[in-house]
Structure 1
Amino acid sequence: MIVGTVKEIKNHEYRVGLTPESVHELAAHGHRVLVETGAGEGIGAGDDLYVKAGAEIVATAAEIFATAEMVVKVKEPQPVERAMLRPGQILYTYLHLAPDPDQTRDLIASGATCIAYETVTDASGGLPLLKPMSQVAGRMAIQAGATALEKAHGGRGVLLGGVPGVLPAKVAVIGGGVVGFNAAQMAAGLGADVTILDRSPEVLEKLGMYFEARAKTRFSNKANLAECVADADLVIGAVLIPGAAAPKLVTADMLKTMKKGAVLVDVAIDQGGCFETSHATTHADPTYVVDGVVHYCVANMPGAVARTSTYALNNVTLPHALRIAELGWKEALRRDPHLRAGLNVWDGKVTYQAVAEDLGLPYTPAEEAVA
Structure 2
Amino acid sequence: MIVGVPKEIKNNENRVAVTPAGVTEFVKRGHTVYVQKSAGEGSGFADESYEKAGAILLDSIEEVYAKAEMIVKVKEPIEPEYKLIREGQLVFTYFHFASSEALTQAMIEQKGVCLAYETVEKADGSLPLLIPMSEVAGRMAVQEGAKYLEKPVGGRGILLGGVPGVMPANVLIIGGGVVGTQAAKMAAGLGANVTIMDVNLSRLRYLADIMPANVRTMMSNEYNIREAVKTADLVIGAVLIPGAKAPKLITRDMLKTMRPGAVVVDVAVDQGGCIETCTPTTHENPTFVIDGVLHYCVANMPGAVPYTSTLALTNATLPYALRLADLGWREACLRSNELKLGLNVVHGKVVYKAVAEAFNLPYVPVEEVL
For residues 42-121 of structure 1, what are the structure 2 equivalents within 5 Å? 42-121=42-121
Q: Which residue pairs with 1:331 in the alignment?
A: 331
1:99 CA displacement? 1.5
Q: Which deviations, in whole Å up to 9, do the C-alpha atoms of 1:114-152 show, x marking residues without a partner?
A: 000000001211000000000000000001000110001
Is there any run of 5+ residues in structure 1 with no aligned partner, and where? none
Aligned AA for 1:241? I
What is the rounded CA distance, in whole Å, between the counterparts of 2:298 and 2:48 in structure 1?
A: 32
For residues 95-174 of structure 1, what are the structure 2 equivalents within 5 Å? 95-174=95-174
Does the CA contact (< 8 Å) of 2:19 and 2:314 recur in 1?
Answer: yes
What is the TM-score with the length of structure 2 in the denominator? 0.99
Q: Which residue pairs with 1:266 in the alignment?
A: 266
Aligned partner of residue 289 in structure 1, secondary structure: strand
Aligned partner of residue 213 in structure 1, secondary structure: coil
Q: Which residue pairs with 1:247 in the alignment?
A: 247
Residue 321 in structure 1 maps to residue 328 in structure 2 = no
Q: Which deviations, in whole Å up to 9, do the C-alpha atoms of 1:26-78 show, x marking residues without a partner?
A: 01100000000000000111110000001000000100111100000000001
What is the rounded CA distance, in whole Å, between the counterparts of 2:298 and 2:352 in structure 1?
A: 25
Q: Which residue pairs with 1:222 in the alignment?
A: 222
What is the rounded CA distance, in whole Å, between the counterparts of 1:269 and 1:222 in structure 2?
A: 20
Aligned AA for 2:367? E
Q: Which runs of 4+ in 1 moved over 6 A?
A: none
What is the rounded CA distance, in whole Å, between the counterparts of 1:92 and 1:82 in structure 2?
A: 14
Residue 304 in structure 1 maps to residue 337 in structure 2 = no
What is the rounded CA distance, in whole Å, between the counterparts of 2:369 and 2:208 in structure 1?
A: 43
1:313 CA displacement? 0.5
What is the rounded CA distance, in whole Å, between the counterparts of 1:246 and 1:296 in structure 2?
A: 17
What is the rounded CA distance, in whole Å, between the counterparts of 1:296 and 1:118 in structure 2?
A: 22
Aligned partner of residue 181 in structure 1, secondary structure: helix
What is the rounded CA distance, in whole Å, between the counterparts of 1:187 and 1:206 in structure 2?
A: 18
Work out the percentage of aligned pairs sharing the same amino acid: 59
What is the rounded CA distance, in whole Å, between the counterparts of 2:121 and 2:31 in structure 1?
A: 26
1:90 CA displacement? 0.3
What is the rounded CA distance, in whole Å, between the counterparts of 2:230 and 2:10 in structure 1?
A: 34
Q: Which residue pairs with 2:194 in the alignment?
A: 194
Q: Which residue pairs with 2:289 in the alignment?
A: 289
What is the rounded CA distance, in whole Å, between the counterparts of 2:277 and 2:218 in structure 1?
A: 24
Aligned AA for 1:200? N
1:238 CA displacement? 0.2
1:212 CA displacement? 4.5
What is the rounded CA distance, in whole Å, between the counterparts of 1:180 and 1:174 in structure 2?
A: 7
Is there any run of 5+ residues in structure 2 with no aligned partner, and where? none
Aligned partner of residue 217 in structure 1, secondary structure: strand
Q: Which deviations, in whole Å up to 9, do the C-alpha atoms of 1:292-320 show, x marking residues without a partner?
A: 00000000000000011011111111111
Residue 366 in structure 1 maps to residue 366 in structure 2 = yes
Aligned AA for 1:204? L
Q: Which deviations, in whole Å up to 9, do the C-alpha atoms of 1:165-196 show, x marking residues without a partner?
A: 00000000000000000000000000000000
Q: Which deviations, in whole Å up to 9, do the C-alpha atoms of 1:297-349 show, x marking residues without a partner?
A: 00000000001101111111111111111111000000001110000000100
Does the CA contact (< 8 Å) of 2:171 and 2:194 recur in 1?
Answer: yes
Does the CA contact (< 8 Å) of 2:188 and 2:212 recur in 1?
Answer: no
What is the rounded CA distance, in whole Å, between the counterparts of 2:304 and 2:117 in structure 1?
A: 19
What is the TM-score with the length of structure 1 in the denominator? 0.99
What is the rounded CA distance, in whole Å, between the counterparts of 1:114 and 1:211 in structure 2?
A: 38
Residue 26 in structure 1 maps to residue 48 in structure 2 = no
What is the rounded CA distance, in whole Å, between the counterparts of 1:212 and 1:170 in structure 2?
A: 15
Superposed CA RMSD: 0.6
Aligned partner of residue 99 in structure 2, secondary structure: coil
What is the rounded CA distance, in whole Å, between the counterparts of 1:315 and 1:34 in structure 2?
A: 20
Aligned partner of residue 213 in structure 2, secondary structure: helix
